[in-house]
Amino acid sequence: MVRLPTALLAACGLLAGRALGALDVDLDDPESIKKAAALVAEDLLSFYRGDEPGWVPGILPGPPPDGDYYWWQGGAMWGTLLDYRNVMKDDTYDDTIFTALQFQVGDEKDYNPANWSASMGNDDQAFWAFAALIAAETGFRDPAPEQPQWLALAQAVFNEQTNIDRRVEGGNCDWGLRWQVYRTNNGFDYINTVANACYFNIGARLHRYTDNSTYGELAEKTWDLMWRLGYITEDYDVYDGAHLPDCKGINKAQFSYNAAMLLQGSAFMYNATESDEWKERVEGMTKGIIRVFFAKDGIAYEPSCEPPPGSCNADMESYRGYMHRWMANTIQMAPFLRDTILPVLKTSAAAGVKQCTGGDNGRMCGFHWTTGQYDGQLSASLEMNVLGALTALMMPDVAPPLTNTTGGTSKGDPDAGQTKTELPTFSPITTGDKAGASILTILIITGALSAFAWMSLD
Ligand SMILES: *[C@@H]1O[C@H](CO)[C@@H](O)[C@H](O)[C@H]1NC(C)=O
Ligand SMILES: *[C@@H]1O[C@H](CO)[C@@H](O)[C@H](O)[C@H]1NC(C)=O
Ligand SMILES: *[C@@H]1O[C@H](CO)[C@@H](O)[C@H](O)[C@H]1NC(C)=O
Ligand SMILES: *[C@@H]1O[C@H](CO)[C@@H](O)[C@H](O)[C@H]1NC(C)=O
């Protein structure tokens, strides 16, 4: 897109008899989509400071109150950019992405760095594993042999989450994956959909990539659990989760990313197994998602928090970008759904782009796509959404995710990850440091209790 001076753009808009968004894009023209997406990627990275001195590589500014974003959204952003770079063939951010994904691996090479223990959920860890999986599936540059490899990182997360000390043993919730990793964290007793759906998704993709059916069996076991508990219903509504001791009294809030990660995982299971059972599930998930999250004129909408006055937090505001990408990925894995999914992605993307008229550059995006108007918000989540929506339009026409036998080069380690989940111990400290350290611990724990009930409605 040629960037015209704002005054001229405004004049053109007037002449055309409509408000002309600065992010004008012809959704039927791949070149036009690419140019618009490049601008949105640039705007997204304008929120990232991790490549500047004094900031931590890999993460967006935060967590609150130090900035708007939690640790997991860094992983979500790199996943978004990895899909973008692969689909649009733009390597501008390769070094930034690579550095970020290696910096946050943590001491045990499992995307569980000690800094974030106080708020570490299985879902948080998984969003970084998703990015590592995309790196493996799209042939992103492999790290040097002595560095952690993409496939092994995803396996480490999966193996740790398979471990019983992250799970419930016995009773109605048996084998449910807990939301939080550590028992000291708020939400350790919440057996929610997002944690289990993340695990399911990683398992389905590891199954297809490695052709090791153990991953698929564990993924299927997880699907069966969520079905039995009623987290996924016969109409393919997807609820948020329930607490111990019995996983009853389900919180019926529906969020687009929960459903979309189940959809994507089902599509990988279908592609790997070609079974009628997974065909039915991926089809059911597709219909459910379109019914629940695109009910308003075919435009992405979060029914559980978006209706006025609106209660979506910064996390919830980012879900639809993932949904668009994972629906597009589903078309690659289950091409029979193309004509059902693609028109929806297009209508919704058009609405997403239309409201990107904000900020100093006149093209920043807001959250409320169905209104057709920019809502005055500025955030990385909102740029990620539109970048995801544009990327999704072209994803079905690029090469499908690689596997170990179709060009994937990422080296795995089936035994990666720690065998036990323990709170990190810090290196021995001198007596002089102790007072300070315990104050720090108190601050961390207080912070965890007050600020970290964030990712789902616990
Ligand atoms: C952990 O926090 C310290 C102090 O802010 C920082 O220097 C370090 O880079 C962080 N590490 C990670 C992996 O975030
Ligand atoms: C397959 O995956 C399982 C589960 O992680 C693992 O225990 C096993 O070693 C893997 N098998 C191979 C051949 O890699
Ligand atoms: C699996 O994915 C490949 C690559 O997109 C596709 O060609 C194939 O048709 C898919 N398999 C099924 C059963 O749809
Ligand atoms: C692919 O899988 C085979 C068989 O499990 C293994 O020998 C090979 O090392 C794998 N290739 C890569 C690149 O991991």
Question: pTM for the whole thing?
Answer: 0.90
Query: Which pLDDT score, from 0 to 100, does residue 426 have?
Result: 57
Q: Which residue ranges have their beta carbon within 6 Å of ligand 4?
A: 404, 409, 411-412
User: What pLDDT score was predicted for residue 421?
Assistant: 82
Q: Which ligand is nearest to the CA of 395?
A: 3
CA of 103 to the centre of ligand 1 (A): 9
pLDDT attached to residue 424:
75
Q: In this structure, which residue's CA is closest to atom 5 in ligand 3?
A: 332
CA-based angle 55:59:61, to the nearest 5? 65
Residues whose CB falls within 8 Å of the CB of residue 43, separated by 6 or more in sequence, listed in order:
359, 361, 363, 364, 365, 383
Task: Quick: pLDDT tens for 244-262.
Answer: 999 999 999 999 999 999 9
Could you give the CA distance from residue 279 to residue 292 in angstroms, rounded to a whole number?
20
335 CA closest ligand 3 atom index = 14
Rg from Cα positions in the chain = 21
Q: In the structure, which protein residues have their CB atom closer than 6 angstroms to any atom of ligand 1?
A: 56, 103-104, 113, 115
Q: Are 58 and 50 in contact (CB under 8 A)?
A: yes
- Looking at all shown ligands, the one closest to residue 337's CA atom is 3
DSSP 80-101: HHHHHHHHHT--TTHHHHHHHH
Q: Which residue's alpha carbon is at the smallest distance from atom 7 of ligand 2? A: 414
Contact 271, 197 (CB under 8 A): no
Q: How far apart are CA 293 and CA 301, in angstroms?
A: 5
Q: What is the mean pLDDT of each run of 10 residues along the chain (458 residues)?
A: 40 40 88 98 98 96 92 98 98 98 96 94 98 98 98 98 97 98 95 98 98 98 98 98 97 98 98 98 98 97 96 95 98 98 98 96 97 96 98 98 98 94 64 43 42 42
Sign of the torsion formed by the C-alpha atoms of 215, 339, 33 and 382: negative
Return the closest-CA partner of residue 404 out of 209, 271, 136: 209
Beta carbon of 400 within 6 Å of any ligand 3 atom:
yes
SS3 state at 432: helix
Cα(159) to ligand 2 centroid in Å equals 10
Please state, in angstroms and as integers, the Cα–Cα distance from residue 315 to each residue in 131, 241, 312, 319, following that order: 17, 17, 8, 7
Ligand nearest to the CA of 157: 2
Write out pLDDT tens, residues 47-91. 999 999 999 999 999 998 889 999 999 999 999 999 999 999 999
Residue nearest to atom 5 of ligand 4 (CA): 210
Tell me the CA–centroid distance for residue 202 and ligand 2, in Å.
Answer: 14
